[in-house]
Amino acid sequence: MNSPSRIANRLGKPVMLFDGDCRFCRLWIQRWQQSTGDRVDFWPLQEARVAENFPELSRDELEQSVHLIEADGSVYRGAEAVFRGLAANPAKQWPLRLYERFPIFARITEAAYRFIASRRQFFSRVTRALWGEHVERSPDLLARWLFLRGVGVVYLIAFISLWVQVTGLLGGHGIQPAADLIAQARQTI
């Protein structure tokens, strides 16, 4: 777990600072913005307002990882910053709880964050290969989920219906006896 540092300038709500020149960072920030809504501001570190509002944070330090500046002036970095930022959405508080309660989870996620951050170009390609150009959640996700499950139920009913009827249709004494059908197929070949 990172021990938070503090900055003098306090804003009205949390601000996530990220590398606006990094395509990988921009993709994931879009998804996080969608998740947090207007509860967190997202600023590229290249904007002049970052240096004006947070002179305590060096450019080199900001380029290494995302930073979250809480409304009280606390500063968090890396995986902890991500989890704290996402926790602004009540449905996304569970990763922060795991991070705070289990030191092994905190160490693993920080190590994973550093690993990915040091290989952003590679993971940018992986992200585009898996998600495409947009990683935001689709607004029709519920409709897709319901539709796919509905199609699955229809197929289940169809196969159960066939299972019940198959012996009557193709059985030895069914409408189309299987032995006769196979014999006819052999004769035509």
- At residue 2, the pLDDT reads 54
Q: Tens-digit pLDDT profile for the chain (189 aa)?
A: 554 588 877 788 999 999 999 888 888 898 899 889 999 999 999 999 999 999 999 888 899 999 999 999 999 999 999 999 999 999 999 999 999 999 999 999 999 999 999 999 999 888 888 877 766 666 777 788 889 999 999 999 999 998 888 777 766 677 767 777 788 888 887
Looking at the structure, do residues 149 and 118 belong to the same domain, yes or no? no
Exposed, middle or buried, 48 (CB in 10 Å: 0-12/13-18/19+)? Answer: exposed
Q: Do both 83 and 24 map to the same domain? A: yes
- Do 76 and 159 belong to one domain? no
Model pLDDT, residue 171: 65
- The reply to whether 94 and 30 lie within a common domain is yes
* Residue type at 29 in one-letter notation: I
- Per-residue pLDDT at 164: 83
Find the CATH number of the domain harbouring 56: 3.40.30
In this structure, are 99 and 160 located in the same domain?
no
- What's the number of domains the chain is made of? 2
Residue 136 lies in a domain: no
Q: pTM of this prediction?
A: 0.69
Beta bridge partners, 69, equal 15, 75
Co-location of 56 and 99 in the same domain: yes
Cβ pair 71, 10 in contact under 8 A: yes
| One domain for residues 81 and 157 | no
Buried b (16+ CB within 10 A) or exposed e, 10-31: eeeebbbbbbbebbbbbbbbeb
Domain co-membership, 101 together with 15: yes
Tokens for 35?
């998740």
C-alpha torsion angle, residues 154, 156, 162, 164 (rounded to 10): -120
Domain, as residue range, for 110: 5-131
Domain presence at residue 106:
yes
Establish if 114 belongs to a structural domain: yes
User: Looking at residue 128, what is its pLDDT?
Assistant: 82
